[in-house]
Copies of this chain bind each other. A is one copy, B any other.
Amino acid sequence: MNKKVSLKDIAEAAGVSTALVSYVLNGKEEEARVGKDTALRIREMAKKMNYQPNQIAKSLKSGKSQTIGLLVADISNPFFGNLARAIEDEAKKRGYTVLFGSSDENLEKSQRLIDTFINRQIDGFIIAPAEGTASQLENLKAAHIPFVLIDRYFKDLETSYIVVDNFKATYQATQQLLQQGHHKIAYVCYKNKLQHTEDRYHGYVQALRDQGINDDENLVFEVEYNSPTDFRKRFIDLLHPDRGVEAILFSTNTLSIMGLKIINELDFAIPEDIAVFCFDQSESYDLFYCPISYVRQPLGEIGKEAVRVLLEQLHAKKPGEQQVMLDAEIIARKSCEKIKK
């Protein structure tokens, strides 16, 4: 951007004063009584030199940029890629442009992206927040910058959010496994304090308790984010026949894929050797030899609602916070069945 064409450059090339160029390109030629031929010459020169009017200065004045900043937790995760696409399609219908950033579940990167977006005059944010970023969101609130959370929210922080009913989702998935006759159901989740992680865990536990089954901590498999080697070692241990695990409920798409790969490597047949219930969409679920059961999040609806709530805040129709909780869909297929070999 170092060689951006300036009004002065155009003035020199056209052999007129910089002031004259400014009058013409800002539509004030009549006021300033610039001759028609001169105005035309200036316009043609600006076009020829590919002059870009400085929109930032303009947007600084108007305070509106028709741009939404979307902060996701990891852009290489297809869940966020598809959600980003849904938000973008909806924003486009409403005349808004979406710029993305990916925090990669990293606190510092999240703050840096928020700053970068603010400094680039976006109108508001849609954020899938990383763990521990509540204080960053508090600052946004204090600065009266409109934002809507998606996928995740913080219990102690009053904000707008669009999430699915995660408790209900894992409750119903666990119910499906129980109804098939599975009793020893393992639960695979990330180790973090995010609200949706806790909600999903409690849904699993409650479904067991409602059937008179006490939750067994040996069946709850918590794994650190981004530690595939640790996952592998412990997951193979979880599958050991001595443990007698009959079914596994995975609580995210990345955990589902990692688990399915290891189940395949060990040549366990699904559902004969082990039944599985996965979470979120993946193109793999349809291509697997046995149709995979999964909790389907309504990505299109989440995107639509997120844009709607944000624009209502921007246009101050409803400046207050709005919380939307959508139902996930339970897709029960062959992978969750109880089939004796």
Give me the interface of A with B, judged by CB distance under 8 Å. Answer: 1-5, 50, 52, 54-57, 59-60, 63, 65, 67, 74-78, 80-82, 84-85, 88, 92, 97-102, 104, 109, 112-113, 115-124, 139, 142-146, 257, 260-261, 264, 282-284, 286-289
Contact = CB atoms under 8 A, between A and B. Distances in A.
Given A109-B92, A113-B97, A118 B52 contact: yes
A184 to B, nearest CB: 24
A134 B22 CA distance: 30
18 contacts: A2-B144, A4-B63, A4-B143, A56-B60, A57-B60, A59-B119, A65-B119, A67-B116, A74-B85, A75-B84, A75-B85, A76-B78, A76-B85, A99-B116, A100-B100, A283-B284, A284-B284, A287-B287
Contacts of A139: 50
Nearest to A89: B104
A143 to B, nearest CB: 5
B121 A56 contact: yes
B121 A1 contact: yes
Contact of A101 (B81, B100, B289): B100
Contact of A84 (B60, B76, B88, B117): B76
A119 B139 CA distance: 26
Nearest to A77: B81
A56 B113 contact: no
Given A56-B60, A77-B81, A287-B264, A98 B101 contact: yes
Contacts of A75: 75, 81, 84-85, 88, 100
A101 B99 CA distance: 5
B284 A287 contact: yes
A260 B80 CA distance: 24
Contacts of A118: 1, 52, 55
A97 B104 CA distance: 13
B76 A143 contact: no
Nearest to A145: B1
Contacts of A74: 85
Nearest to A263: B287
A102 B84 contact: yes
Given A99-B99, A283-B257, A287-B261, A2 B116 contact: no
Nearest to A254: B283
A2 B5 CA distance: 30
Nearest to A82: B76
B63 A88 contact: no
A122 B120 CA distance: 9
A148 to B, nearest CB: 15
Nearest to A257: B283
A124 to B, nearest CB: 8
B85 A81 contact: no
A277 B253 CA distance: 26
Contact of A63 (B2, B55, B98, B144): B2
- Looking at A4, A54, A99, A257, which has the most chain B CB atoms within 10 Å of its CB? A99
B67 A76 contact: no
Given A54-B60, A75-B84, A78-B283, 16 more contacts: A50-B139, A52-B119, A56-B119, A57-B60, A67-B116, A78-B78, A85-B104, A97-B112, A97-B116, A99-B100, A99-B117, A100-B100, A264-B287, A282-B283, A283-B283, A284-B284
